[in-house]
Amino acid sequence: MGKIARPKILPPQVMELIGHALHTVQYGYLILTVQDGCVIRMEKTEKYVFSSKNKAGYVKRNVPVGEHLLQSKIIAELQGLMYGQLIIHLEDGKVGLIEKTEKRRINEYEGINGDGI
């Protein structure tokens, strides 16, 4: 039988990194990789958009002390995930899209040589 997804508490270090990235990335995305129900990796890709509309130049933001508005939604999405990725797209400092890719391990189906599907 497959593993039953149990709600896991994210370690404070992981929460702090996710919160910091949500507050500081203007354009880009975060990829949270989950294995056995635990976040094992976070990738952050930040893009810089140069435009003639933005005459003020690069804007440096102060990182708010509080929790990001969508942090609880992201935690809820992560808790039901055993294997896969959560991709958070950021545009103009706002979460524009949350993409969830779930993978399932199938151990009960084996081929002739003991190989999985």
Structure tokens at 29: 């995305």
**What is the spatial distance between Cα 63 and Cα 25, in angstroms, rounded to a whole number?**
10
Q: Determine what percent of the chain is predicted with pLDDT higher than 70.
A: 71
Q: Is residue 41 part of a domain?
A: yes
Q: Is residue 7 part of a domain?
A: no
Q: Is residue 110 part of a domain?
A: no
Count H helices, E strands: the chain?
2, 4
**77 pLDDT more than 80:** yes
For the chain, the domain total comes to 1
Dihedrals phi, psi of 85, to nearest 5 degrees: -140, 150
Q: Is residue 87 part of a domain?
A: yes
pLDDT band, residue 61 (cuts 50/70/90): low
3-state secondary structure of 51: coil
Structure tokens at 83: 């294997």
Q: Is residue 73 part of a domain?
A: yes
**80 pLDDT more than 70:** yes
Q: Is residue 28 part of a domain?
A: yes
What is residue 76's predicted lDDT score, i.e. its pLDDT? 87
Q: Is residue 114 part of a domain?
A: no
**What is the spatial distance between Cα 71 and Cα 64, in angstroms, rounded to a whole number?**
13
Structure tokens at 58: 């690069």
3-state secondary structure of 77: helix
Full residue range of the structural domain in which residue 51 is found: 12-102
- pTM here? 0.72
CB 74 within 8 A of CB 35: no
